[in-house]
Chain A
Amino acid sequence: MMETILSWMIFLPLGGAVAVLFLPKGNERLIRGFGLAVTLAVLAGALLLWRGFNPSAAGFQWEQKIAWIPMIGVHYHVGLDGLNFPLILLTGILGVIALLASHTITERIKEYTFLYLLLLGGMLGTFLALDLFLFYVFWEVVLVPMYFLIGIWGGPRREYAAIKFFLYTLAGSVLMLLSILTCYFASTPHTFSIPALIQQGVTLSGTVQWWVFLGFFVAFAIKVPIFPFHTWLPDAHVEAPTPISVILAGVLLKMGGYAFLRISFPIFPEVARGFGIVFAVLGAINVIYGGFVAMAQTDFKKLVAYSSVAHMGFVLLGFAGLTLTGFNGAMLEMFNHGIITGAMFLVVGMLYERTHTRELSAFGGLGAKVPVYGGMLIFFTLASLGLPGLSGFVSEFLALLGCFPTHPVITGISVLGLVIGAGYFLLLLQRVLLGQMPEKWAGLTDLTVREIWLLVPLIGFTLWIGFWPKVALGWQSPSLAGLLYRIGGNAAW
């Protein structure tokens, strides 16, 4: 059981999704309960992994390799190391919380649960796959349920947002597919295995390597998203229902950042070194531009969506330095952003449920009316803007620190992003919580116990990593150091 736990975690949601199709349509309690049971089992799996995970062990843990299409050397190959373990944990946590937050979804429960579990399985598969072919299959499997989840249960412009998301991601994916195939033909013996490709290296000329790297880059950049490939994100986020926004921001965006670490950097170390400056510049643009655009938003959810763009900029800056501190910061920022922004979207959704508007100008003075809600909003907003003592600060600081020795000027410019972030988040608090409360919100109710308990675990993680980041850094640091050694970065800083 323990040896195959990774496969269980992938195929339990996928099998569960198929099983949902055979449940009676009318029995919504049964369907919801079944979905919850599956996500809880995945979380249990993630916690079991936590117990057994040895960060300093060499190589992959719980590795499993089964021939799938032997003729062309495709394997079902999964494994766990410091790069994907935090993301698996994140997926486990948010998988349960987002499903619990799905009580606001009231129609077509059966289809919803089916798609949700499919999405979960696809994301776990993407994080665990160690074979490029398998990775691509799971990467695309994620795309389809997301399209439906946005398109069926989304807001007024859902059809547009769903197809935009689908086509954007698909355009990146097909370019990645060409890059994967080029890697396959350029390796001897031909292989799709990521570890084997890293070990053998690919025999491609410098220019071709750049093109192949670029193919991967576009696919991952769309997912992250990196400016100028980010335009699908605000649409998707604003239209998606709350739980799906949580998954989208919390887990899905991490697929891009993770894929850089898992695939692009180790397979093309020389290109990765040359690409550092590109990451730095794009990261700075993400931080500054994303921040300013967020500041201009009048829609609560769109503001949080653009703040995601800004936060992902810190991940890129962390990559750009090619230092251990930077990589640690980037990796931790992905985890923290998942927790904090996931919570932010929950908080936005809770207000929207009550008021059916997200216009910031419609609010004001809610702090006195709904104090618990106000407290939650303040906590996660402060975490998001990087208040020391909360988790966002640690990772953003590390990312900037790691970028500094390599790109001092760009890091200096990017630090302004923190100020901008503080600007729009405090402005947000002011517009929602302070000032005169409009008459129409007189009947507003505070958070229910259920809603509070949805947020409590996320508060726990935010505080824990904010005060004691050592454990979380300890998971990832050895693997990141190995990666840096491979690409010839600065593992000492």
Chain B
Amino acid sequence: MVKVAPFLPELLLVAGGLACLLLPVRRQTRWLGWGTLFLLVAALDLKLWGVLHEPFSQDLFGGWFTLDRFSQLFGFLILVGSAGVAAAVLGFRQERGTTLGREFFGLLLLATTALLIVAGARHLFLIYLGLEMVSLLSYCMTGVIKRDSLGTEAALKYFLFGALATGAFLYGLSWIYGLTGTLHLAPAAARMGLLLHESPWIAGMALFFVTVGVGFKLSLVPFHMWAPDAYEGAPTPVAAFLSIGPKAAAFAVAVRLFPAALPSDAAFWSPMLAWLAVLSMTIGNLAAVGQTNVKRLLAYSSIAHAGTMLIGIAAGSSLGLAATFYYLGAYLLMNLGAFTGVILIGNRTGREDLDAFRGLSRSEPAAALAITVCLLSLAGIPPLAGFFAKLWIFGAALQANLTWLAVAAALNAVVAAFYYMRIVQAMYLASDPLPAAVAFPHRRLLTGLLFACVIGLFAIGLFPQDWLTWAIQALPPAAPPSLLPW
């Protein structure tokens, strides 16, 4: 007998998503956006209630799906991200031809549901289904604006890469099934653990293909090529969604696949993840330096951040996993803030390149300040959340004797600071500011959203204790508690 209560958030979202798609409402009604936001916040509260009150580790549907602390907390993150995206959409300039109407909200709600499923899945096939559902909905969201050639191109590119990656993932699953006879995560992992020692090449190939699939969702180098084009072509709120939600879910999968499933075989997957991390950080950051389109810049920066977060998983310790979770929370807020800044600039100037930020501090001092805080947090300046996130990651790497990885991450932080400061420079230092502000739509809503992000960044930055406690509780059940450094 499965209780309904634990699924209330998911059911709410599915109902809302289907309603958006099927009910005969006018496309552009603004209340639909507020309704979506309300639904997401309601689901968020329910999730939070579940985190605080539900007993942990309920295996459901024959062990395919689990509601443990881990999935609840990742679900919480995903819902915060989607709620932020919904709020950002409300601030997105709606013009003829660029409307994010009811089908967009439907897609957003359904994609969020799929992400929640991925976060809780403990069966490889369910993970595949969830990821595929997220991907398909993401392709649609990227190309949601009709007759926008850039968006259509982005969606097509995203789709082609995605198809290849999910194909590889599925292929890897077939290897695992063939090798172990099951796709249930726990028994499959147990047998894979043995196989890794008996025939490391064959088992390693299976792991490799699975990693390709996950790496695509995380936009890790070398599976990152889709990200800059997709971000640039997609409507800005969709780019924000792509950089937040799917990443959180994919990290949940990565944790379940590697440290939680194969805790004693770190020697096999840890170097692979470490190299992916270094490549993503370095190539992502170096590529970002030359960008003039801020969305492309943020796309490369998100590649680099994914690499940094991966260090926590490569370290495999409980500090590392907690660090990754903490980082995800901080990243969600600061990236949402940065994309909200792009939306604001887009509303104001109709552009989204670096030059459009010139002189923002004069005409919109409050918004410029908030964007700067988000960018400084992305650059890892204390006492903001982004700094603490980096700190735990560095600490985890040092603790796991991955000193070279910590040094690489530290040097990358300097490169990253350079291109974030370019945006700050445009806003504050530019001597030839754009003409002072004309009125632009949704100014107050966007500024409010920016400040919500800033308050969050300060809150989990200045008082990291609570969030870190949660992050440690979010450790997958399989991680041995003896690893705790405290």
Interface residues, chain A, with chain B CB atoms under 8 Å away: 69-72, 111, 136-137, 140-141, 143-144, 147-148, 151-152, 158-159, 162-163, 166-167, 170-171, 174-175, 177-178, 181-182, 184-185, 190
Contacts and interface: CB of A to CB of B under 8 A. Distances in A.
A140 B387 contact: yes
Contacts of A140: 381-382, 387
Contacts of B395: 181, 184-185
Contact of A148 (B417, B428, B465): B428
A111 B421 CA distance: 18
Nearest to A148: B428
Interface string B374-405: 00100001110001000100110011000100
A62 B281 CA distance: 44
A185 B469 CA distance: 20
A151 B428 contact: yes
Contacts of A141: 382-383
A166 B421 contact: yes
B407 to A, nearest CB: 7
B398 A167 contact: no
B411 interface: yes
B429 A181 contact: no
A166 B417 contact: yes
Contacts of A177: 391, 394, 410
Contact of A137 (B365, B383, B399, B421): B383
A72 B383 CA distance: 16
Contacts of A166: 417, 421
Contact of A181 (B383, B398, B425, B464): B398
Given A174-B411, A181-B395, A144 B429 contact: no
Q: Which 4 A-B pairs have the closest CB atoms?
A: A174-B410, A137-B382, A151-B429, A171-B414
B342 interface: no
B418 A70 contact: no
A147 B422 CA distance: 12
Given A148-B428, A152-B428, A182-B398, A170 B382 contact: no
26 contacts: A69-B464, A69-B468, A71-B465, A71-B468, A72-B468, A111-B361, A111-B365, A136-B382, A140-B382, A141-B383, A144-B381, A147-B421, A151-B425, A163-B421, A170-B414, A170-B417, A171-B411, A171-B414, A174-B410, A174-B411, A174-B413, A174-B414, A178-B410, A181-B398, A185-B395, A185-B399
A241 to B, nearest CB: 14
A185 B398 contact: yes
B24 interface: no
Given A137-B382, A178-B406, A181-B391, A158 B398 contact: no
A140 B411 CA distance: 16
Nearest to B472: A71
B486 interface: yes
Contacts of B421: 147, 163, 166-167
Contact of B376 (A144, A162, A174, A178): A144
Most buried by B among A141, A167, A181: A181
A25 B214 CA distance: 51
A181 B394 contact: yes
Contacts of A148: 428-429
B55 interface: no
Contacts of A158: 429
B485 interface: yes
Contact of B394 (A70, A147, A162, A178): A178
Most buried by A among B376, B383, B391, B410: B410
Contacts of A185: 395, 398-399
A402 B469 CA distance: 51
Contacts of B410: 174-175, 177-178
A167 B418 CA distance: 7
Contacts of B398: 178, 181-182, 185
Interface string B453-465: 0000000000011
Given A144-B381, A163-B418, A167-B414, 15 more contacts: A69-B468, A71-B465, A137-B387, A140-B387, A144-B376, A152-B428, A162-B425, A167-B418, A171-B411, A174-B413, A175-B410, A177-B394, A178-B394, A178-B406, A181-B394
A7 to B, nearest CB: 15
Given A71-B486, A137-B383, A170-B414, A159 B394 contact: no
B53 to A, nearest CB: 23
Nearest to B407: A178
A166 B372 CA distance: 15
Nearest to A138: B382
